[in-house]
């Protein structure tokens, strides 16, 4: 997320938007505590990697739920207009 923040601040010269986006992503990630199953699953690799997909504006948060430890693990936050499935393979 740090890279996303830096990109928006420096390349797009928009610190206000970067702060708003980071706050929104953080708020939605923290809301997973109440209902981690809220967002759909996506298959990353055929039958081997399945994550939940949370869309926040133009970004995708891929996460998994560790049942045993009762926690949500965030794997990636990716720009959604890229072919994110190829990016993480």
Contacts of 34 (CB under 8 A, 6+ apart): none
Strand, helix or coil for residue 57: coil
Model pTM score: 0.85
Q: In this predicted model, what pLDDT tens digit does every residue of 15-60 receive, in sequence order?
A: 999 999 999 999 999 999 999 999 999 887 766 788 999 999 999 9
Q: What is the CATH number of the domain that holds 41?
A: 3.30.2310.20
Provide the residue range defining the domain that includes 42.
Answer: 2-87
Q: How many domains does the chain have?
A: 1
Of 31, 36, 35, 9, the residue nearest 20 (C-alpha): 9
């Amino acid at each position: 997320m740090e890279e996303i923040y830096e990109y928006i601040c420096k390349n797009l010269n928009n610190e206000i938007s970067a702060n708003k986006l980071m706050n929104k992503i953080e708020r939605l990630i923290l809301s997973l505590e109440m209902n981690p199953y809220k967002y759909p699953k996506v298959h990353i690799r055929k039958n081997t990697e399945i994550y939940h997909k949370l869309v926040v504006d133009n970004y995708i948060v891929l996460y998994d739920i560790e049942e045993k430890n009762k926690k949500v693990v965030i794997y990636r936050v990716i720009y959604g207009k890229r072919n994110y499935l190829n990016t993480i393979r």
